[in-house]
Amino acid sequence: MTRPRRLRALAAVATATAFALLPAVPARADAIRDQQWGLEALHTDRAWQTTKGKGITVAVLDTGVDDAHPDLAGQVLPGKDLIGFGAGRGDRSWALHGTAMAGIIAGRGNGPGRGDGVLGVAPEAKILPVRVILESGDPARAKARKSRGTALADGIRWAADQGADVINLSLGDDSESAHPEPGEDAAVQYALGKGVAVVASAGNSGEKGDRISYPAAYPGVIAVAAVDQYGTHAAFSTRRWYATVSAPGVDIVVANPDQHYYIEWGTSAASAFVSGAVALVRAAHPDLSPAQLKTLLADTARDAPAGGRDDARGYGMVDPAAAIEAGAKQGPGDPGARSAQAGYRDEYFGSGPTPQGGGGGPAGWLAPSAGGLGAVLLALAVVLWRGRNPGGRNAAAPGHTPFPTGPLR
């Protein structure tokens, strides 16, 4: 027997302490699925005719993942905690952001026929959790930022050594002092050299000067910008030369360890969507190199901006179904191959910065009738309903102070 559920709304900007209570709205059993517009936007139904990601492991380097969440039960592999202290299971500041990202990537839903809860882009992929940051509300966060400066770089290398096929980095430093950190860059190149695709959020400084975000700006990374339901560039999403593709990042339903579901926004979510997309393509074409995968996503992206690319949306909306189809024509590649599309040819990763006045408008891919560290990349939370069983990133070097990309409250 299921517990009655209601749409209770609790808005919370992660950088603030105030909460706004929104009106309660009755919810049907499929209310969560009805609001997962991102799956339709990525044409996942077409991609799933070929694969749902079986055999692929996506490492989620984040604040931890709740392996007991009904939507993720059986999906989460034994992971690694590179922080070693801070909030633990059952605490309010434990694994919020990481669980949300894991659900977007590989959620399987729950309940009869798995018709309730969050369904991920690659629901048959496995999640490898690597804790490399603490939530913004964790009292130990300041300590972690001072004492766990190499956690991200170490986590990337560990995930690559454990056989991850994709590494999701829904995090970034886009503070005014953000700078490339050699250890992180080397770790990314290590992973790419082992054939691991690396995906990162482009940053949330679109309304704060479009500051460069790391690790998104490291060579070879698939950097993801955010768009809304109409394919329009999200104002908060950073516009920079390294943007590869765009993905849903506004009004995204996410799972939470507290057994509630939230509506979030940010390039964190966009990165997770693309990691799920890469998992689907890798499952269909396991021999493709990271450089080939990055090129494939760019070449098959939908609704490309004028001129083929801009800093706001990269090469357009990621389309895993189209990439799977085009991938059949690709030959196996050297895992460490370096191509211009992967970001090695020139100073810029891609075609260079978009001139002032560049694009970012609607792409028109969905009709209007369709219902950091340095920046908080998932910042707005709305409680949708309670499930049936209720119950940043840290400094990489002195002066390099990234943050989690989306504490939920």
* Distance between CA atoms of residues 279 and 367, nearest Å: 27
Question: How remote is the C-alpha of 175 from its chain's centroid?
Answer: 19
* Residue 215 preceded by cis peptide, ω within 30: yes
The token pair that represents 85 in the structure block:
């202290």
Residues identified as active-site: 62, 97, 268
> How many beta carbons lie within 10 A of that of residue 283, not counting itself?
21
Radius of gyration of the chain (CA): 19
Residue found under tokens 């392996």 = 67
Of all helices (H) and strands (E), which one includes residue 280? helix 267-284
* Distance between CA atoms of residues 7 and 407, nearest Å: 21
* Distance between CA atoms of residues 127 and 376, nearest Å: 23
* Distance between CA atoms of residues 316 and 338, nearest Å: 22
Amino acid letter at 307? G
* CB half-sphere exposure, 136, CA atoms < 13 A: 24
* CB half-sphere exposure, 180, CA atoms < 13 A: 9
398: closest CA among 150, 133, 189, 138?
A: 150
